[in-house]
Amino acid sequence: MRMNGPSGGEHKSEQKPATAARMYDFYLGGVHNFPADRQAAQTVVDQFPAVPAVARNNRAFLGRAVRFLAEAGIRQFLDIGSGIPTAGNVHEIAQAVAPDARVVYVDIDPVAVAESLEILHGNDRATAIRGDLREPQAILDHPEVRRMLDFTTPTALVLAAVLHFVPDDTEAYGFVDRLAAVLPAGSYLVISHGAAETFALSDDRTAAARAVYTQRTTTAGKPRTRAQVELFFAGRCQLVDPGVTWAPDWRPATGDPADFAGDTRRSGMWAGVGQFTPMPTT
């Protein structure tokens, strides 16, 4: 289903409000977006011209993290806030390393889920469901999650560029707690997160970009500091080297986007991977 194709015909869904998934797809140069998404995304880009590069670099981090995990033997991925799995997403990378890797994509946006299912057609080891990170038990109990993933086996919980859509700190840490509680030792947590430390933007431009999400989508955003992002791992995970870093600095590889070469702080996104380890009891 090509959404912004050349026909230019009125699509019923063109009247829908913008969503974070389809705005992100627009930043990445994808075709899975409607006029409302493009207008809202363009407003963000006007305030924050680096946003497409931020999205590219986030996606590149995600790719490196998934490859690292597949090479480390992980065969199950639960990717929440997955967006639209266009080229280079989790299932492609994981299954290129290990064809038996299984992936469940979860997103709040029904159009992203429909698009995902279309892209995944014929792949019986990857599926997509509609789910809300703010309802973690419903995700864990979902029949497709139960069918595809075995939580007695190490699993990667991927939360890439989604936790900043849970503005309340207590809720955000609590939802990760609920999800992490079912994962056995040896599992991994992958997080990227919009940074509260702004180096490329004035405060009012940041506020203007955030206001687009608050006013035009149902997913208001809140960036967090590096220390706040590290807290998602604290008490349950051993951070993999090099810890929580700017996204382009996490295990850079040949072929990475070069947008922020020389000043990776401008990537605006913290990123890290941690392995669940049994924590000493006190």
Q: Are 134 and 175 in contact (CB under 8 A)?
A: yes
Q: Among 37, 109, 115, 256, which residue sits at the site for ligand SAM (rule: CB under 6 A)?
A: 109
Choose the binding region for ligand SAM from 2-10, 40-48, 81-89, 272-280 (rule: CB under 6 A).
81-89
239: number of Cβ within 10 Å: 16
| Residue 62 found at the interface with ligand SAM (CB under 6 A) | yes
Q: Among 83, 154, 272, 274, which residue sits at the site for ligand SAM (rule: CB under 6 A)?
A: 83
Nearest-10 crossing angle of helices 35-47, 20-27: 70
Give 101 or 163: the residue with its C-beta nearer to ligand SAM. Answer: 163
| Residue 112 found at the interface with ligand SAM (CB under 6 A) | yes
Q: Among 3, 4, 18, 19, which residue sits at the site for ligand SAM (rule: CB under 6 A)?
A: 19
Q: Among 58, 95, 206, 264, which residue sits at the site for ligand SAM (rule: CB under 6 A)?
A: 58
**Any residues with CB less than 8 A from the CB of 217 and at least 6 apart, and which?**
17, 18, 19, 20, 23, 40
| Residue 268 found at the interface with ligand SAM (CB under 6 A) | no
Strands 237-239 and 156-160: unpaired
Q: DSSP secondary structure string, 14-54?
A: GGSPP-HHHHHHHHTT-S---HHHHHHHHHHHHH-TTHHHH
| Residue 165 found at the interface with ligand SAM (CB under 6 A) | yes
Q: Among 65, 70, 161, 189, which residue sits at the site for ligand SAM (rule: CB under 6 A)?
A: 161
| Residue 162 found at the interface with ligand SAM (CB under 6 A) | yes
Q: How far is the CB of 281 from ligand SAM (least distance, A)?
A: 32
Give 161 or 212: the residue with its C-beta nearer to ligand SAM. Answer: 161
| Residue 30 found at the interface with ligand SAM (CB under 6 A) | no
| Residue 92 found at the interface with ligand SAM (CB under 6 A) | no
Tell me, residue by residue from 221 to 260, as one string, x for binding to ligand SAM by CB under 6 A and - for no binding: ----------------------------------------
| Residue 189 found at the interface with ligand SAM (CB under 6 A) | no
CA dist 114 → 108, 129, 271, 275 (Å): 11, 9, 28, 31
CA dist 270 → 74, 82, 90, 216 (Å): 23, 17, 19, 25
Element of type H or E holding 226: helix 226-231
Residues 193-222 that bind ligand SAM (CB under 6 A): 219
Burial 17-34 (b: 16+ CB within 10 A, else e): ebbbbbbbbbbbebebbb
Residue with tokens 């992958």: 190
Give 135 or 185: the residue with its C-beta nearer to ligand SAM. Answer: 135
| Residue 163 found at the interface with ligand SAM (CB under 6 A) | no
Q: Provide φ and ψ at 277, rounded to 5°.
A: -130, 150
CA dist 159 → 49, 66, 105, 167, 233 (Å): 24, 12, 11, 15, 12
Binding site residues, ligand SAM, CB under 6 A: 19-21, 24, 58-59, 62, 80-83, 107-109, 112, 132-134, 160-162, 165, 219
